[in-house]
Amino acid sequence: MRLQDKVAIVTGAASGMGKAIAELYAKEGAKVVVSDYNFEGAQAVAEGIKAAGGEAIANRTNVAELGDLENLFAETKAAFGKLDILVNNAGIMDGMEPVGEISDEKWDRVFAVNTTGVMRAMRIATNIFLEQGHGVIVNNISAGGLRGARAGAAYTASKHAVTGLTKNTAYMYANSGIRCNGIAPGGVETNIGASMTGISQFGMGRQQTGSGTMPRVGKPEEIAQLALFLGSDESSFVNGQVIAADAGWTAY
């Protein structure tokens, strides 16, 4: 029970990696806030956790809306009285557009979810953690936050921004009992592709030239194991790192 009596928020937790993280956290003793824009999906995950003997509540949050985020943290405090771990997992894809094709609308939408929403959640959590004297942030970033050809211009830039935000936050609050790390998954079996619209054939073609170097597609449960380590006290000496979990894809 590596997270016994911890309280954790997991965004984008109705499916995929977020669901796997929420379920593993609960299995390891955490009280989990299952947050997602898909409230019915979040409820199903929370009910499954409770049926397995864990503690969880469901929350509907559009991470691009500040009011929703503020409500998420308020509900967490009301239900469990504190917050120990924030997992920023929610994210969307672009359409593989290179910079010459990206629209302002698509750029703003991707950044609103992938970057601004993460920053705002971190800002709220950090102020809670400063009052408590401790707290952990785990950002699910993507190999697209480390390399330039895993997606289009908007997604790549949005994830690189979160890589920098993760490192900056870790350094700024290293003496305040707060840790901040990131995960950079490679290809994983999730439904994030459903968020892709207006796909660029040129951009997709360029991106696919490196797909053959990917050793294999990962399982959400494999990413959850890394999120568990980073969220637990076992990683107490790990701070400001973005760890690739991609079967060696970024080694190429």
Just list the catalytic residues: 155
Mean pLDDT of the chain: 96
Q: Where are the beta strands (DSSP E) in the chain?
A: 7-10, 31-36, 55-60, 85-88, 135-140, 178-185, 242-245
**Residue pair 69/121 in contact by the 8 Å Cβ criterion:** yes
134 part of a folded domain: yes
> What are the angstrom distances between the C-alpha of 171 and each of 25, 130, 178, 200?
26, 14, 9, 38
For 101-160, what is each residue's pLDDT tens digit? 999 999 999 999 999 999 999 999 999 999 999 999 999 999 999 999 999 999 999 999
Task: At 21, list the tokens.
Answer: 């993280």
- Model pTM score: 0.95
Query: 25: buried, middle or exposed (CB in 10 Å: 19+, 13-18, 0-12)?
Result: buried
Residue 159, Cα to own-chain centre: how many angstroms?
11
CATH no. for residue 226? 3.40.50.720
**Residue pair 95/198 in contact by the 8 Å Cβ criterion:** yes
Backbone angles phi, psi at 12, to 5 degrees: 60, 40
Average pLDDT for 15-24: 98
CA atoms within 13 A on the CB side of 168: 9
Q: How far apart are CA 34 and CA 43, in angstroms?
A: 8
CA atoms within 13 A on the CB side of 230: 28
The number of domains in the chain is 1
1 part of a folded domain: no
CA atoms within 13 A on the CB side of 16: 22
- Assign 193 a pLDDT band (cuts: 50, 70, 90): confident
Percent of the chain with pLDDT over 70: 100
213 part of a folded domain: yes
240 part of a folded domain: yes
Range of the domain at 227: 7-251
Average pLDDT for 37-49: 98
- Assign 53 a pLDDT band (cuts: 50, 70, 90): very high
For 208-228, what is each residue's pLDDT tens digit? 888 889 999 999 999 999 999
Q: Would residue 84 be called left, alpha or beta, if left means φ above 0 and alpha means ψ between -120 and 50 degrees?
A: alpha
- Assign 194 a pLDDT band (cuts: 50, 70, 90): confident
34 part of a folded domain: yes
Average pLDDT for 188-215: 87
50 part of a folded domain: yes
Q: How far apart are CA 66 and CA 117, in angstroms?
A: 8
